[in-house]
Chain A
Amino acid sequence: MQNQAIETKENNIAIEMKGISKSFGALKANNNVNLTVFDGEVHALLGENGAGKSTLMNMLSGIYTPDEGTIAIHGRSVSFSSPKDSIKLGIGMIHQHFKLVDVMTAKENIIIGQPTDFVIKGKALTKKVKELSDRYGLDIDPDKKVYEMSVGEKQTLEIIKVLFRGARILIMDEPTAVLTPQEIKKLFGVIRNMKAQGCAVVIITHKMNEVMEISDRVTVLRKGESIETVVKNEVDIPKLIEMMVGKKVDLAIHKESFPKSEPLLKMDGVTVLDAEGKSALSDINFDLYPNEIVGVAGVANSGQKELCESIAGLVKADKGRIFFEGENIVGKTPRDIIVLGIRMGFIPEDRLGMGLVGGMDIVHNLILKDYQNQPGIRLRRGPCIEKAKKIVEQLDIMTPSIYTPVKRLSGGNIQKVLLGREIDSAPKVLITAYPVRGLDIGASYKIYDLLNEQKKNGVGVLFVGEDLDVLMDLCDRIIVLCHGEITGIVNPSEVTKEDIGLLMTGHRLEQEEE
């Protein structure tokens, strides 16, 4: 049935990109890429980081111009010189990072940059927004301020924004990365509505399950070249991954169980207040044992950051105690933690903004955690040069040299530098916040392996994640956060993804572990 539907629409080619090449200096980001997307089709663009997906889509939205090749929209050959041209032709891009003005309402955000009358006709606009959202099954309050919105609402607003501009071709860059399972379901409903209305939707994603669920056809890019376009129903996940990576990949995450011993870390009624005095984290109680990986699930900004930072000493807990091997570490600064030799590693969410210094090389990034314990005023590089060489070799970091600024490395390699440094200090507790965010499949599994290795060595790992499938495969227990509270601590083998999704949105389950 579905295949037939596609065939009848063969005549209505929405996007046709042929022989597209684009180089940045010596780097060929796209090399002879072909992509055809039909009206009324959901087309998944699949590929590892650096495969050229974003470059390709940026050419479609007018941010870059191709060096070679042609782009045709609805059969007409076009050449964009700015995003404006692309918008005019009905192409709308929804970026991973929302481009909204926080202090304005949904309505106001929609008309920013639009040619309108001098006076904004509020009521007419509200009506138009309502019409549009009803048509596609979008749920939005036009008068709500952006800062009051959840991530899901913000995304809805982004979608309405591009639809309002008359988009018939939508490009979504990893739209599900920050959503709960329930929100993803809703989003997919919207995408199906758009498809039914004849829109063409291109979706960039890493998550295979979603590709299988929502897309009609899939184009796989690898190393800047388009490998193949396939009809979804004719392939399976392992096949897609093989096309993406170029070889067969073992996708199993091995989970071993170890007997419980004394807890390494004990959170006892920890409460953290935010700048406005509201609790960002309230009454957190849990233990972290050696040889285990404890996952933390939750919608973005549910207190994950505060949880990690309160343990690492970056944020002081306002109430409660945090015991590290029996010693209360509340009130200890990161410096105290380093100088006192408390063996704790922390991989923050913002790698270049917090974990590393982007403009500095690997050696100087290793010094970051080392220099506090150096005697005197002189900075000693020697030991870190050796360490840098060792980490680069052990973790297989792709870098021109250990003296290359880390911000020039790829996301996966940046993460390996950070993880390598933290693991090198032989931590007993390792806190990781979204350690695989933005990494490709190969790199992600390398990170899972590294974490599992740490677990085997007796480390207690706290793993803040967003992909529930991964959390359930990797973790021994999962803590679910909602609005800074623990709504449940579950054993992944006893619950479903939907259960966790419910906990994430504040519902409590009947049967709770511990």
Chain B
Amino acid sequence: MNFIRVTKRDDLPVRMEVIIRLVAIVLSLIAAGIVILVFGVDPVRIFKSIIEGSLGTTLRIQQTVVKAVPLIITSLGIMVAFKMKFWNIGAEGQITMGALAATWVALFMSDSMPLFAKLLLMALASMVAGGLWAFIPAFFKAKMGTNETIFTLMMNYIAIKFVTYLQYGPWKDPNSNGFPKIAPFPENAILPSLFGVHIGWIIAIICAILIYLFMTHTKKGYEIAVVGESTETARYAGMDIGKIIIIAMFVSGGLCGLVGMIQASAIEKTLVSGIANGYGFTAIITAWLAKLNPVIIIVVCLAFSMLIQGGAYIQIAMNVPSAVSSIVQGIILFFIMGAEFFLQYKVGFRHNEAKEVA
């Protein structure tokens, strides 16, 4: 028990870092393979099918991208907050409120509005709504030091239940034959497509570039990074910490709100209470795995949506429960997270036998 030693690493060459991560992925595939074997399925076929299912045909690639879009933009939003060590786990709620605002614009403002004017208005409304939903916990954190983790989490439920209320109550579609659902969006409120995928993917790329520039080339981005490192240093440098928290959270929530608009407009084509679909939580993982780097976020989110899309595919193609895919996802995550430990600590065996001690 005593022969394993764990010591903190000082500095790790980039090459070693890449090797450790690759080893983690290979090991995770082996471990996942064993689990799949237990289910009585050939793991190699499963892995092949996941790749086929996510990248095999143009249509499947398009589906993979469709799933990556909300993940990327939400991760970017979460990243801004996390850079400041503000643990925003309220992306689900911010997405939902964004979708709600977009829906209001879509359904209750003139149907004759030109397409892009309406979409732009929806996008703006969704960002403001998502931003405001994030502003509330940020305001209380800045002024009264409340715990943002619990606050943002609770805000999720309020948002989701509020949409449920609208769905069953005031916004119920009179033409739905009594079904509790909200009316579908009119034509001029639906995102157009480019290369077979709704233009959300372009928005995602633009967001990534803008957030990269915001975080590295503006004074506000710099302030956010300083506050995240040390609030005392921020105070020393004359920064208004409360204001910075509020602005950063508005940006964070605004991005998440935009996701709500994209999902409502392009995917659901209406508002449903489950519009956020867990992206707000998955994005925490992807943002973290990407080390809060906007460029890596795109890569990580694409890889994740391959797993999601491939998982859906094996369920249909191989008649395997999609839970298998979730298990594979979980195992891969587990190993990648585990690799973080080995990136920070060195584990070695003792050379000299421990001699008896007193």
Contacts and interface: CB of A to CB of B under 8 A. Distances in A.
B357 A334 contact: no
B344 to A, nearest CB: 13
Contacts of B229: 357-360
Contact of A378 (B218, B355, B357): B218
B236 A82 contact: no
Interface in B196-217: 216-217
Interface residues of A, number: 47
B10 A25 contact: yes
A353 interface: yes
A379 B236 contact: no
A353 B354 CA distance: 40
Interface string B323-358: 000000000000000000000000000101111011
Given A354-B236, A355-B236, A372-B238, A379 B219 contact: yes
Given A78-B355, A78-B357, A314 B235 contact: yes
A336 interface: yes
Contacts of B217: 378-379
B233 A334 contact: no
Contacts of A357: 225-226, 229-230, 233
B237 A374 contact: no
Interface in B139-187: none
A334 B236 contact: yes
Interface stretch (A362-370, A493-501, A506-514): A362-370
B306 to A, nearest CB: 32
Nearest to B226: A357
A82 B232 CA distance: 35
B2 A81 contact: yes
A89 B9 contact: no
B5 interface: yes
A89 B357 contact: yes
Nearest to A365: B233
A377 B225 contact: no
Contacts of A371: 219, 222
Contacts of B233: 353-357, 368
Interface in A256-311: none
Contacts of A339: 238
Nearest to B346: A25
A65 interface: yes
Nearest to A372: B238
A134 interface: no
Interface string A368-399: 11011010011100000000000000000000
Contacts of B238: 313, 333-339, 372
A334 B232 contact: no
Contacts of B221: 379
B220 interface: yes
A378 B225 CA distance: 15
A84 to B, nearest CB: 9
A421 to B, nearest CB: 11
A332 to B, nearest CB: 10
Contacts of B352: 79
A164 interface: no
Interface in B33-61: none
B192 to A, nearest CB: 32
A81 B354 contact: yes
B11 A408 contact: yes
Contacts of B236: 312, 314, 334, 346, 348, 354-355
A85 B225 CA distance: 42
Nearest to A355: B236
B239 interface: yes
In the complex, which range does the number of interface residues on chain B fall in? 20 to 34
Nearest to B2: A81
Interface in A220-272: none
A358 B228 CA distance: 11
A360 B215 CA distance: 14
A356 B352 CA distance: 42
Interface in A165-203: none
B268 interface: no
Contacts of A333: 238
Given A79-B355, A354-B236, A377 B220 contact: yes
A339 B354 CA distance: 62
A355 B232 CA distance: 8
B7 interface: yes
B237 A369 contact: yes
A167 B352 CA distance: 26
B355 to A, nearest CB: 5
B105 to A, nearest CB: 29
Contacts of B358: 85, 88-89
A449 interface: no
Contacts of A379: 216-219, 221-222
A355 B234 CA distance: 9
Contact of A374 (B11, B219, B225, B239): B219
Contacts of A377: 218-220
Interface string B236-259: 111110000000000000000000
A359 B292 CA distance: 14
Given A377-B218, A377-B220, A378-B218, A368 B230 contact: no
Contacts of B218: 377-379
Contact of A27 (B2, B10, B230, B237): B10
A357 B3 CA distance: 38
Interface in B278-329: none
A24 B5 CA distance: 14
Contacts of B2: 81-82
Given A79-B352, A80-B357, A378-B218, A334 B237 contact: yes
Interface string A49-64: 0000000000000001
B350 A368 contact: no
B70 to A, nearest CB: 28
A338 B240 CA distance: 13
A5 to B, nearest CB: 28
Interface string B64-93: 000000000000000000000000000000
A355 B236 CA distance: 7
A395 to B, nearest CB: 20
B219 A358 contact: no
Given A334-B236, A378-B217, A65 B5 contact: yes
B10 A353 contact: no
Nearest to A334: B238
Nearest to B348: A65
Nearest to A84: B357
B355 A334 contact: no
B357 A88 contact: yes
Most buried by B among A27, A313, A353: A353
B80 to A, nearest CB: 16
A209 B239 CA distance: 43
Contacts of A338: 237-238
A297 to B, nearest CB: 24
Given A355-B233, A371-B219, 19 more contacts: A27-B10, A78-B355, A80-B357, A81-B2, A81-B3, A82-B2, A88-B358, A312-B236, A314-B235, A335-B240, A337-B238, A346-B236, A354-B233, A357-B225, A357-B233, A358-B230, A364-B222, A367-B222, A408-B11
10 contacts: A79-B352, A79-B353, A89-B357, A313-B238, A334-B236, A336-B238, A357-B226, A357-B233, A368-B233, A377-B218
- Nearest first, the 6 A-B pairs at minimum CB distance are A335-B238, A334-B238, A81-B2, A354-B232, A85-B357, A88-B358
